[in-house]
Structure 1
Amino acid sequence: MSAARRLARVLADLGPRYLPFADAATKELPLGRLLRLSLFQVTVGMAAVLLIGTLNRVMIVELDVPAWIVAVMLALPLLAAPFRALVGFRSDTHRSVLGWRRVPYLWFGTLLQFGGFAIMPFALLILSGDTTGPIVIGQVAAALAFVLVGAGLHTTQTVGLALATDLAPAHARPKVVALLCAMLLAGMMASAVVFGLALHDFSAIRLIQVIQGAALATLILNGIALWKQEPRDTSRKSVPARRFAEAWEAYAAQPQARRRLIATGLGTAGFSMQDILLEPYGGQILHLPVAATTALTALLAVGGGIGLLTAARWLNRGGDPFRVAAAGAVVGIAAFSAVVFAAPLGSGGLFACGVALIGLGGGLFAHGTLT
């Protein structure tokens, strides 16, 4: 056997062992096409960093917007979350003359996200009172911007994941979903670094440039992601319609389906409640600059990536997904304790450690519950 063939065999054995997502690609969904499709997760991660990370801190600390208004604004995108099941169902049963089910929803989700980002910086400046216009206009416009971005990212992510599972064979779907989650974290890490560097010397003009740059990047990356991904099938227009209630009843009839949903909802809520607090906490309590608090989101994503990789290896060895999720919850308790005690101890290092552990616990919990 030649040296080249031996090296190829070693690399083939090394990939699945140390890179759990290396074998997510299949003949039906090659790695290049899968990575291109995963770009929609990058834009979702970018939007999450901008909303719950950068803008959260900037609105409270730099723009002096009352914290309760910021909390309301950041909660508005979550209004679209309960409709993800309906959006996914509608894309499942969509009947189109062009033969597409997923592409129309992906495209309109992208346009919603783009439109929200386009008006957001000017709405925030009016909201902060830094202009001559009435603040109420800024409040209404900012609320509209956050709702549009929230509806767009939830629609894009839901339908994008559905399209990925359509294209991947059944045996590869868990690894494909895990890879898409990893790409979400990669997008969060990259965006946090870029936003932190761009806003190191904060100004209103720089804020406008950053948000509008995010809008343009969303349009371009999502366009590349969905280009020639879904095959056209004009026979779908003749498929009889199915009601959402019927689909829900079929799912709820599965053993322990409701119990799993409740556990997933409570755990996800626990790990998500920190979204609105960490950046202002670091800025106002620990007096960290914008770049440092934005970097916390990258640290959170790094911890989440480690959690996903750990969970993947654990499950590949025959681990119980319920134990994986429970381990994530235990890590989360320790993580939030570290964040709480960082203030009285005045320790930025303890705070950063707590943030990383939140990501680690969240990654374990998310992978366990999804599995």
Structure 2
Amino acid sequence: MSAAQTMTRALMRLTPAILPFADAATPELPMGRLLRLALFQVTVGMAAVLLIGTLNRVMIVELGVQASVVAVMLALPLVFAPLRALVGFRSDRHRSVLGWRRVPYLWFGTLLQFGGLAIMPFALLILSGDTTGPLWVGQAAAALAFLLVGAGLHTVQTVGLALATDLAPARARPRVVALLCAMLLAGMMASAVAFGLLLTRFSPVRLIQVIQGAALLTLVLNGLALWKQEPRDPGRTRAAARGPGFSESWRGYAGRGRARRRLWAIGLGTAGFSMQDVLLEPYGGQILDLSVAATTALTAMLAAGGGLGLWLAARWLARGGDPFRVAAAGCGTGILAFS
């Protein structure tokens, strides 16, 4: 055996250790196809950074919008979050003339996301009071824009994850989901850096360009992500057999073991960490006098910390760690950081 062959085999053995998600690929779902599918997570991360990070600070500091109004706007995308279970359930049972279950939901979710981002910059300019029109028009338009983006990103992420689990074999699904979570954090970090660089010299015109560029990029990346991913099944053109409804299925899940307690823990933990998210960039702008680029870099650091936490949790669980202890360690670390 030549030295080159020996080195190649050694690198192939090391790859899963160096890249924790390199073993997520399977013959049914090769790495190239999986990474292309994961592009929808990049657009979700980009929208999250834009709403909670960049626009949160810009609306309060640069545009002079009241913090209470901004808080309401940022809460609107979460209105759709409880409906994710219903969206996933409906996509499972969707009857499609074209034989697709997931693609229609992914496409219409993308259109909602694109539409919200397309009208958002002009709505924000009206909301800031820098016009001669009535203020309520800006408030209504901004509320519609945030609601559309929230509905779109929640639909895309829910159905995209469902499509990934459809395509991956059962043995690889945990690693595939972990890779998709890592892509979400990568999208957040890349978007935070890009928005920070583009808004270094802030102006209303530059803000319009950045948000509309994000809208176009969302359409392109999501289109690439779902292209030729879901095979068409003629069986889905027929009416689905009568089965349990959503409420019955939900009761079956919620009544299983300690599912309700887990849901409460996830909900409270998410609320706690999200409160810090909302305050991070306006605090940096108003109290610390940081620029838009500097406060957006804080969001990039937040995403980097999330990636580190995901990697540590994956290694801990792979070594037989207790999931409850891992979650408790994450909560304790967050409380320490907040303190």
Deviation of 1:2 after TM superposition, in Å, equals: 2.7
**In structure 1, C-alpha distance between the alignment counterparts of 2:73 and 2:254, rounded to whole Å:** 33
Match in the other structure for 2:322: 320
Q: Say which SS state the counterpart of residue 98 (structure 1) adopts.
A: coil
Matched, 1:216 2:211: no
Q: In the alignment, residue 257 of structure 1 is paired with which amino acid?
A: A
Matched, 1:277 2:246: no
Q: Is the 8 A contact 1:84 1:155 kept in 2?
A: yes
Matched, 1:192 2:213: no
**In structure 2, C-alpha distance between the alignment counterparts of 1:301 and 1:241, rounded to whole Å:** 43
Match in the other structure for 1:81: 81
**In structure 2, C-alpha distance between the alignment counterparts of 1:307 and 1:336, rounded to whole Å:** 16
Mapping 1:45-84, distance limit 5 Å: 45-84=45-84
Q: Say which SS state the counterpart of residue 22 (structure 2) adopts.
A: coil
Match in the other structure for 2:101: 101
The total of aligned residue pairs comes to: 337
**In structure 2, C-alpha distance between the alignment counterparts of 1:254 and 1:13, rounded to whole Å:** 41
Deviation of 1:329 after TM superposition, in Å, equals: 0.3
Deviation of 1:273 after TM superposition, in Å, equals: 1.4
Q: In the alignment, residue 209 of structure 2 is paired with which amino acid?
A: Q
Q: In the alignment, residue 35 of structure 1 is paired with which amino acid?
A: L
**In structure 2, C-alpha distance between the alignment counterparts of 1:114 and 1:103, rounded to whole Å:** 16
Question: Per-residue displacement from partner, 1:199-235 (whole Å, max 9, x unpaired)?
Answer: 0000000000000000000000000000000011120
Match in the other structure for 1:112: 112
Q: Say which SS state the counterpart of residue 24 (structure 2) adopts.
A: coil
Q: Say which SS state the counterpart of residue 97 (structure 2) adopts.
A: coil
**In structure 1, C-alpha distance between the alignment counterparts of 2:66 and 2:239, rounded to whole Å:** 53
Q: Which runs of no fewer than 5 residues in structure 1 stay unpaired?
A: 338-371
Matched, 1:22 2:25: no
TM value normalised by structure 1: 0.89
Deviation of 1:287 after TM superposition, in Å, equals: 1.1
Question: Per-residue displacement from partner, 1:23-79 (whole Å, max 9, x unpaired)?
Answer: 001111000000000000000000000000000000000000000000000000000
Question: Per-residue displacement from partner, 1:164-186 (whole Å, max 9, x unpaired)?
Answer: 00001111111111100100010
Q: Is the 8 A contact 1:43 1:221 kept in 2?
A: yes
Task: State the Cα RMSD in Å.
Answer: 1.0
Q: In the alignment, residue 215 of structure 2 is paired with which amino acid?
A: A
Deviation of 1:241 after TM superposition, in Å, equals: 4.1
Q: Say which SS state the counterpart of residue 101 (structure 1) adopts.
A: coil
Q: Is the 8 A contact 1:60 1:70 kept in 2?
A: yes
Mean CA deviation greater in 267-276 or 125-134: 267-276
Mean CA deviation greater in 83-92 or 232-241: 232-241
Q: Is the 8 A contact 1:93 1:241 kept in 2?
A: no
Q: Which runs of no fewer than 5 residues in structure 2 stay unpaired?
A: none
**In structure 2, C-alpha distance between the alignment counterparts of 1:217 and 1:107, rounded to whole Å:** 14
Q: In the alignment, residue 189 of structure 1 is paired with which amino acid?
A: M
Q: Say which SS state the counterpart of residue 20 (structure 1) adopts.
A: coil
Deviation of 1:5 after TM superposition, in Å, equals: 2.8
Question: Per-residue displacement from partner, 1:286-333 (whole Å, max 9, x unpaired)?
Answer: 111111001111100111111111111111111111111111001000
Matched, 1:306 2:308: yes
Mapping 1:150-299, distance limit 5 Å: 150-236=150-236, 237-242=238-243, 243-299=245-301
Q: Say which SS state the counterpart of residue 289 (structure 2) adopts.
A: coil
Match in the other structure for 1:343: none
**In structure 2, C-alpha distance between the alignment counterparts of 1:145 and 1:109, rounded to whole Å:** 14
Q: In the alignment, residue 87 of structure 1 is paired with which amino acid?
A: V
Deviation of 1:253 after TM superposition, in Å, equals: 3.3
Deviation of 1:19 after TM superposition, in Å, equals: 2.2
- CA distance 1:18–1:323, shift in 2 (3 Å): farther
Deviation of 1:272 after TM superposition, in Å, equals: 1.3
TM value normalised by structure 2: 0.97
**In structure 2, C-alpha distance between the alignment counterparts of 1:262 and 1:5, rounded to whole Å:** 53
Q: In the alignment, residue 69 of structure 2 is paired with which amino acid?
A: I
Asked which structure has the greater RCO (Cα within 8 Å, sep 6+), the reply is 2
**In structure 2, C-alpha distance between the alignment counterparts of 1:4 and 1:251, rounded to whole Å:** 53
Match in the other structure for 2:334: 332
